[in-house]
Structure 1
């Protein structure tokens, strides 16, 4: 295991004295548990509604989410947000202002991992959307001021901050 419950050094295989952050007693390698970066889109229309997708996969299959996902190695979150938009929505998205970063958790391969979720406002042509059925089973538009409970707490937090941001500019 390399996550929060790592018991052995990923470099030499020696038993670790504790959970990360720790140092391998055999080779001195320093093990840390860092948050995995993600990038998500908040597509808001002129009526003050945001685009939400119903997750097709676990964790949290069947819950509402906004488009997004993990950044690839050395990929800037802004670029990851645009890529995730293309992959999940099947269309080009225009990345707009940065909303914020939020620390959360994501269950992956039976480990609860820390994530650092980066959220951006985005725009697109709604008629061009072609959902990837492997990612989402449906889409809808919710009132930004009255969102449903989202799949991940970071999304709930980003929606609150996005609403505040948009209200302060009016």
Structure 2
């Protein structure tokens, strides 16, 4: 994964290589750091016989038309947990009840012709009521799917988080 930057963002001099690199003109060290995101694995109930999760059909690129979990990029200085709560309000129109942290996953996101590294943080969550008002600018529809038989998701980190969440919930129901 690379960035388009072939010039130093500080002095504008050409860079010898893609980041990570140091500008030979001004000494600026340039890195490509993963952008943090926060996502929700909204479950239909912690003790349901077949645990289902909420998925949204993406309305915009990248990956328009594919299923995803609610979530998005963290704002500067925003903790992923706070971003997860904010994304729940923005994308579902409700204040979700946040549960355990599932994990962090390195992935990628196509943005403005660049492939950006992302650090996706996933949390279990539940709805306080059975009312969802999706943002039509971001999602075309929503549906509930089996956690153990999930459809392919828009981003590979979502697939991995769903597998880990299913394993965690299976272990917890078995009392381990």
The answer to whether the superposition gives a TM-score over 0.5 is yes
Count the aligned residue pairs: 168
Residue 78 of structure 2 corresponds to 75
Instruction: Give the match for residue 93 of structure 1.
Output: 96
- The answer for the alignment partner of 1:9 in structure 2 is 8
- Counterpart in the other structure of 1:27: 26
After TM superposition, the runs of 4+ consecutive aligned structure 1 residues lying more than 2 A away are 125-128
Out of 53-62 and 43-52, give the one that drifted further.
43-52
Would you say the 8 A contact 2:44–2:127 is kept in 1? no
Q: Deviations over 1:76-101 (max 9, x none)?
A: 00000000110000111111100000
Q: What are the residue-to-residue correspondences of 1:54-65 with 2, within 5 Å? A: 54-65=57-68
TM-score, scaled relative to structure 2: 0.93
1:113-145 deviation line (CA, Å, top 9, x unaligned): 100000000111353211100010000000101
Correspondent of 1:138 among 138, 141, 161: 141
- Consecutive unaligned residues of structure 2, counting only runs of 5 or more, are none
Whole-Å separation in 2 of the counterparts to 1:89 and 1:36: 23
User: After superposition, where does 1:117-156 map in structure 2 within 5 Å?
Assistant: 117-156=120-159
User: Any unmatched runs of 5+ in structure 1?
Assistant: none
Q: CA RMSD in A?
A: 0.9
Distance 2:65 2:138 in 1: 11
In structure 1, distance between residues paired with 2:9 and 2:98: 37
